[in-house]
Chain A
Amino acid sequence: MKQGNTIVIDPVTRIEGHSKITLHLNEDGRVEDARFHVTQFRGFEKLCEGRPFYEMPSLMARICGICPVSHLIASAKACDSLLAVKIPPTADKLRRIFGLAQVTQSHALSLFYLSSPDLLLGMDADPAKTNIFGVAEKNPALALDGIKLRQFGQKIIERLGGKRIHPAWIVPGGVSAPLTEVDRDAILEGIPDALAIAERTLEWFKGTMERFREEISTFGNFPTMFMGIVKEDNGLTFYDGKLRMVDASGKVVAERLDPTNYSDYIGEKVEPWSYLKSTYYKPKGFPEGVYRVGPLARLNVADRCGTPRADQELAEFHELQRTAVLSSFHYHHARLIEILYCIERLEQLLNDPEILSKHVRAIAHPNALEGVGACEAPRGTLFHHYKIDEQGLIRWVNLVIATGHNNLAMNRSVLQVAKHFVQGKRLTPGMLNRVEAVIRCYDPCLSCSTHALGQMDLQIQLISPQGEVLDEVIRK
């Protein structure tokens, strides 16, 4: 009789943050349970207590170096509601531009830098090669496209905000400076190239999908609900709207949910083995209320993108499955369609005659003691919730971050992949990489989601029912 085992992958590589995976084997040596542990902690919600709320956007941006703009937006929106002002229309549009640039660069980072090695070199490739340098060697044009696309997004952020990482341009009440004609024209000039890259990469990706049939069927391919913010017309948006939830069959479960009341329908559960909380849809309870957010979820909940090329691609995307598109492998596909949408939408917004208006900030004293700001970050729905005292000093903060929404689904996905690919007491690079690759589909940002600090490492442990570590792999 064989002894049961647990496999531990620690740390997980090519993701944003520090985590480990444990695979629990049963007496027959088959994977019985899998856990994705987030092993870092930062405590942002605590450390900003007592600070003036005007500092919050910049303070919150420090949660993440990849998507600081999403935190700036959610934070500034929470502050707008503390001021109880309607920000000038141009400020609203400029913030949207900022957000779209951010999604473009972040998606480019996820797809080209972190996941393209798996997609291009295959899941069984030598771990020493599965990085951006390996991609540059095999397909230099693809690597260059990735770098250029990310640069396109980052340059927009720099032009508007003064710097690429942690710009302080978004402020409560609007933005701190208007867009100049020179900057507008310079950004517009880069659009045709960026669009061409997005189109090329999407074609390339669709061409490679055939090679990943097994992965598509096992990478988080299970029924869950999906959540995302949509516009009035149920179209795709990243900046503002109401929440919509669809189930695995694609049917609407709830819609027009006000993000301000998120705590009425979203619960946060703490597990003793991870610093990352798991959220769930309260009416269905835990863990039945599992849902996914992010690119795949947004395209499942949105009826349309609202830009011509992205809408064509969305129609094709929905043909992948008659129900909602369920496999998390398709996060990659959805990410590419969103990049296309972002670039098209950027062009529309930049050509708006109002965009150069100098009126970009509403000035007010705090008029409410509690405020919620929500937006769609690259990885999914982001909530910032603040309470202040009469002086305007922060007294309480709650942050619900995209990766937290996906935590339950990520755990299930790891289990599904491990059950399918991991056999025996030893880990092969192919098994290991698939377990990691399914996590990468979600593009989790652990520094954001635990508001925590860490390195990008991977650790997998194989653990027996007796708790004995049988095999352990650490990749730096």
Chain B
Amino acid sequence: MSPVATVKTLKIDGRDVSGRQEETILDVARQNGIFIPRLCEMDGLSDVGACRLCLVEIKGQNKLLPACVTVVEEGMEVTTGSERLNNYRRMILELLFTERNHVCSVCVSNGHCEMQMLAQRLGITHVHFPYRYPKEEVDASHERFVIDHNRCILCTRCLRVCDEIEGAHTWDIMGRGIDAKVITDLNESWGTSETCTSCGKCVQVCPTGALFEKGRSVAEMMKRRQFLPYLTMMREENE
């Protein structure tokens, strides 16, 4: 006999929906075609709740909760798109744009960037905070791939896919707060990494143009992410 799944019923944006007890609000919203913005979450990877874009309102709670790590509960009433939430989301995105150097017009991911698309969807036309213009490096030492720290938003998808799916754990985070950056091995150049298998999964899951294939010109970096849920599913079946 297969174990019985416990199903929870709840409301998202006034709609009656249901999900298994271990599923998150984001999972259930996605299954029901309800859009919740996110940049760090990715289907097939563990959730870290880092970007805070998926914050939602839950009736009876003053605190906003990230939909990617909040599991569904019976009778929950969730709002995904209030004016308050959208203001916060716009603010988070604007801060991301100011933190490093995002110049869409000359970016390899122009037109295919998750952050750019989200900014358009949320109606961001201007950034209301001063830009920091940090001096960030580009590491093009790898034979096939490049990391441009100017465009990294520290979502850590690259870390997670490298660790959880490829099993190499080449990527990690160094430093804290505003000084945090992704590194390969012990902050060595990517081209000399002994752990990197050059599988390219990190490049494909990166939401912006921070990771890209060498030789791509402006707007040419289209990322293929279909492989990820498929890989996860096949591994689970084999276990």
Is B137 part of the contact surface with A, judged by Cβ < 8 Å? yes
**B218 touching A393, Cβ below 8 Å:** no
**B138 touching A58, Cβ below 8 Å:** no
User: For the complex, what is the distance from the CA of A168 to the CA of B138, rounded to whole Å?
Assistant: 21
Within 8 A of A (CB), among B190-225: 191, 214-220
**A54 touching B215, Cβ below 8 Å:** yes
**B140 touching A166, Cβ below 8 Å:** no
User: For the complex, what is the distance from the CA of A52 to the CA of B215, rounded to whole Å?
Assistant: 9
**B141 touching A54, Cβ below 8 Å:** no
Q: Give the one of B138, B139, B146 with max A CB within 10 A.
A: B138
| Interface of chain B: mostly helix, strand, loop or mixed | loop
Which residues of chain B have C-beta atoms less than 8 A from A166's C-beta?
105
Taking A52-B140, A391-B140, A391-B141 as contacts, is the C-beta distance between A59 and B217 under 8 angstroms?
no
Q: Give the one of B106, B138, B191, B216 with max A CB within 10 A.
A: B106
- Size bin of chain B's contact surface: 10 to 19
User: For the complex, what is the distance from the CA of A51 to the CA of B105, rounded to whole Å?
Assistant: 14
Within 8 A of B (CB), among A379-393: 391-393
Q: Give the one of A58, A172, A363 with max B CB within 10 A.
A: A58
Interface residues as binary, A10-54 with B (CB distance below 8 Å gives 1, 0 otherwise): 000000000000000000000000000000000000000011101
Closest Cβ of chain B to A20, distance in Å, is 30
Is B108 part of the contact surface with A, judged by Cβ < 8 Å? yes
Is A365 part of the contact surface with B, judged by Cβ < 8 Å? yes
**B140 touching A55, Cβ below 8 Å:** no
User: For the complex, what is the distance from the CA of A55 to the CA of B138, rounded to whole Å?
Assistant: 13
**In-complex Cβ contact of B106 among A50, A55, A391 (8 A):** A55
**A168 touching B140, Cβ below 8 Å:** no
Beta-carbon nearest neighbor of B110 in chain A? A168
Which residues of chain B have C-beta atoms less than 8 A from A57's C-beta?
217-218
**A55 touching B146, Cβ below 8 Å:** no
Q: Which residues of A contact B (CB under 8 A)?
A: 50-52, 54-55, 57-59, 62, 166, 168, 171-172, 176, 363, 365, 391-393
Q: Which residues of B contact A (CB under 8 A)?
A: 105-106, 108, 110, 137-141, 146, 148, 191, 214-220
Given contacts A52-B146, A58-B105, A172-B217, 9 further A-B contacts (CB under 8 A): A52-B138, A52-B140, A54-B108, A54-B216, A58-B218, A59-B106, A168-B218, A365-B214, A392-B214
